[in-house]
Structure 1
Amino acid sequence: MINIFQVDAFADKQFSGNPAGVCILPKAHAQTDAWMQSLAEEMNLPETAFAEEMDREQYSLRWFTPTTEVKLCGHATLATAHILWSEGIISDGQAIRFATKSGELKVVRSESLISLDFPQQPSSECKEPIGLEMALGCDILNTYKTGEDILVEVKNEEAVRSIAPYIQQLELLDAEYVIVTARGDSVDFVSRVFSPNVGISEDPVTGSTHCSLAPFWAERLNKTQMNALQLSKRGGALQVELVGDRVSIAGHATTVFKGELYE
C-alpha cells in the first residue's frame, strides 16, 4: 500500500500557504522516474515529494512539479517531515535526515514549528535581462543572479504585492525562478516567486528561494534572524536564520487529506 497526502506548508490553517503532495514509499519499494512524474502531473500541485525509507530516521527525497523534477524544494520538504511526524512514522523529538540531489537536509521540530536546514545560495549583481521589466510590469531597482534564478529588487512591499506579470514573457527568460523582493512593512522582507519554466506560473510560498533571500537581506539589514512573508494570493509566513553557511527556514504545516494509491 502506498499512501498519498496533501499538505499546506508554511501555513497554520488549511487552504493557505503552499500545497504539496507527499508520497511515502515503503522501504525497497522504489518507483520509476516516469511513475513519479506522472503522479506529480496527476496531483497538479506546485510540487509532489517522494520519500523512501533508507534506514531509521533517514529517507531519500525527491521533488517533482507537474512538468519536471527540481533539485531543491523547501515547502514539500517541510510537508514531508510534517507527515512523517504526524503519522507516527518518525518519533516526536527525533530529527529527520533526507538524502537529496542537493545533499543531506536535516529537519527538526519544536512544538508545531518545523525548521529546515538548507544550504545558503549567494547572489551577485548582474545586468538586467532584456524584457524583464516589461514582463514584470514594474520599476526595477537592481537585478541579481542566484544559482539558476533571477532575483529582482523593487522599491517597496506594495510594488511586490501589485505585480501582475506577463507570464508568457517570463517564459522567455533564462531562469527557473524569478524572485521579486523588497523590504517589508511589518516584517523584514517580502517576496513573490514566478516560475513558468518549471510549470508553475506563481509559486504560493517558496522555501528554497529563501536560501538566496536570507543572505541577501541579512547583508542589507545587518541581522541574521528575520521574518518574511510571501505575498501570493494564498500567502505564507517564514522565519529564517543564517547559521554559518546554512540557513534555517521555519514554518508550520497542516494536513488537508490522506489517501491510498491503487497499484
Structure 2
Amino acid sequence: MRLIDYYMVDAFSERTFGGNAAAVCPLTDWLPDEIMLNMARQHNQSETAFFVPHNDGFSLRWFTTRNEVNLCGHATLAAAHVIFNHRGYTRPAIIFDTASGKLTVSRNDDWLTLDFPVDRTEPQTPPAALLRALGIASYQAAHKGRAWLIELADRQQVEAVKPDIAAMVPGEHKVTITAPGGEGYDFVSRFFSPGEAVWEDPVTGSAHTMLIPYWAQKLGKNRMFARQVSARGGDIRCELKGDRVLMSGQAKTYIVGKLMLD
C-alpha cells in the first residue's frame, strides 16, 4: 500500500467555496500516466496537479478527468499554496518545470503571483456554430490564441450567457467571453472548455494569458484588476510585463488527507 498526501485547494479565492478548486498531490517520483489520470478522474475536479522535487524547484504536471494538459493556472496556484503552507518551503519564490517551460510563483503575504508566458491573439471570425452554441447574437470583437476570445458589450451580457455545451464545435472547444468590468474591475470574463471535460471553469489562469495582453492594449494600462464572473467567481490582480503576464490570487485549503494506492 502506498500512501500519498492529498490536498484540495480553492484557488483565486480568500474563502472556502470560492474560486476554482484543484486537487494537489505531492510525489517523490512520477507515477505511471494512467494512474495519475485515474486519480484525477477519482478526484473529479477540473484539474489535479502533481509535483515532484526537481533540482532547486519542482516538476509540475496537470491532469483533467480526460487527459493531461500543458498549462493550468489555478492548479499551479494551488500547488504553490500547498508547497508554501504545508510543505515547509521558506524561499520567496517557487520555480516549476512544466510542459509550458519554467513557471515562477512568488509569495507576498496572502497573495501568490504566477509568472506565465503571454498568449498573443489575432483577430478572427468565430464559427457561426460556436456563436449559436453560446447564444451570442452580436459581439464587439473576436480574437484567437490558445482559445477563442470573444468580447461582449458589458458585464451583464457576459453573465447572461447560457451556452449549449453539447452543441459546441469539437474542434473549437475552448472559449473565453469577456467585457469591460465596471464596479471596481477593469474587465470580467467566463471560460468554457467542454473538449477537456470542463463545462465552465470557475477561474482560469491560462485564459488570462490571453486576456491580460488584450485588455492592456485596449485600456492602455499594464496593471489591471479582473474578475471571472462564474457562479463561484474569483479575483485576479493582473500585470503585463513584456512577453510575460503576472497573475496574483489568494487560495484556501479545504481538504488535507491521504490517498491509498494498491
- Bucket of the pairwise TM-score, normalised by the shorter protein: over 0.9
Contact 1:137–1:164 (CA under 8 A) maintained in structure 2: yes
Contact 1:8–1:18 (CA under 8 A) maintained in structure 2: yes
Distance 1:180 1:241 in 2: 19
Structure 1 SS opposite 2:106: strand
Aligned residue for 1:167?
Answer: 165
User: 1:128: Cα distance to partner?
Assistant: 2.1
Distance 1:24 1:86 in 2: 13
2:37 matches 1:37:
yes
Structure 2 SS opposite 1:262: strand
Aligned residue for 2:17?
Answer: 15
Map residues 74-153 of structure 1 onto 2, 5 A cutoff.
74-91=73-90, 93-138=91-136, 139-147=138-146, 149-153=147-151
| AA of the residue aligned to 2:189 | S
Cα displacement string for residues 150-187 of structure 1 (whole angstroms, at most 9, x for unaligned residues)? 111111100001110000111x2423421000111120
TM-score by length of 2: 0.96
User: 1:134: Cα distance to partner?
Assistant: 1.1
Between the two proteins, the alignment pairs up a number of residues equal to 257
Distance 2:226 2:170 in 1: 26
Structure 2 SS opposite 1:30: coil
Distance 1:143 1:35 in 2: 39
Structure 2 SS opposite 1:210: helix
User: 1:127: Cα distance to partner?
Assistant: 1.8
Structure 2 SS opposite 1:21: strand
Aligned residue for 2:175?
Answer: 178
Give the RMSD, CA atoms, in angstroms: 1.0
Contact 1:128–1:142 (CA under 8 A) maintained in structure 2: no
Aligned residue for 2:65?
Answer: 66
Structure 1 SS opposite 2:205: coil
Aligned residue for 2:237?
Answer: 239
Structure 2 SS opposite 1:46: coil
Distance 2:15 2:62 in 1: 23
Structure 2 SS opposite 1:209: helix
Cα displacement string for residues 21-76 of structure 1 (whole angstroms, at most 9, x for unaligned residues)? 000002xx2201101100000000010000011133x1100001111111100000
Identity of aligned residues (%): 41
Contact 1:179–1:192 (CA under 8 A) maintained in structure 2: yes
Distance 1:157 1:163 in 2: 10
Aligned residue for 2:46?
Answer: 46
Structure 1 residue runs without a partner (length 5+): none
Query: For 1:215, which of 203, 213, 216 is the aligned residue?
Result: 213
| AA of the residue aligned to 2:255 | F
Contact 1:133–1:140 (CA under 8 A) maintained in structure 2: no
Query: For 2:5, which of 3, 6, 24 is the aligned residue?
Result: 3
Distance 1:127 1:253 in 2: 36
Distance 2:173 2:223 in 1: 27
TM-score by length of 1: 0.95
Contact 2:151–2:179 (CA under 8 A) maintained in structure 1: yes
| AA of the residue aligned to 1:162 | A
Distance 2:45 2:231 in 1: 15
Distance 1:200 1:208 in 2: 13
| AA of the residue aligned to 1:174 | G
Distance 1:175 1:98 in 2: 29
Say if 1:61 and 1:9 are closer, same or farther in 2 by CA, change over 3 A: same
User: 1:109: Cα distance to partner?
Assistant: 0.3
Distance 2:72 2:87 in 1: 23
